[in-house]
Amino acid sequence: MSDKQATNAYWRANLKIIYICIAIWALVSYGFAIIFRPLISGIAVGGTDLGFWFAQQGAILVFIVLIFTYAWRMNKLDREHGVEE
């Protein structure tokens, strides 16, 4: 594999990880907290409905998990492509 092909493969994998993280973030913060809130409002979490919980705390917690997951996955990807620090 040439250097340019290796670089393109690395960035393709990197963008795939980014797109997955953005999709999860959008689903949780916009989907569950705003769009699908009427559908999940009957589920109680911590004394309030699940949609409100996602809007107030759930989206933040998922975002923090996404940050650590992205960092872990990028370190693994860097090792696979030989560009680790």
Percent over 70 (pLDDT), the chain: 99
What confidence tens digit (pLDDT) does each residue in 5-21 have? Answer: 988 999 999 999 999 99
Is pLDDT of 84 > 90? no
pLDDT at position 42, please? 87
Q: Supply the pTM of this predicted model.
A: 0.81
Percent over 90 (pLDDT), the chain: 48
Can you name the residues that pair with 48 across neighbouring β-strands? 45
How far out from the chain centre does Cα 21 lie? Answer: 3
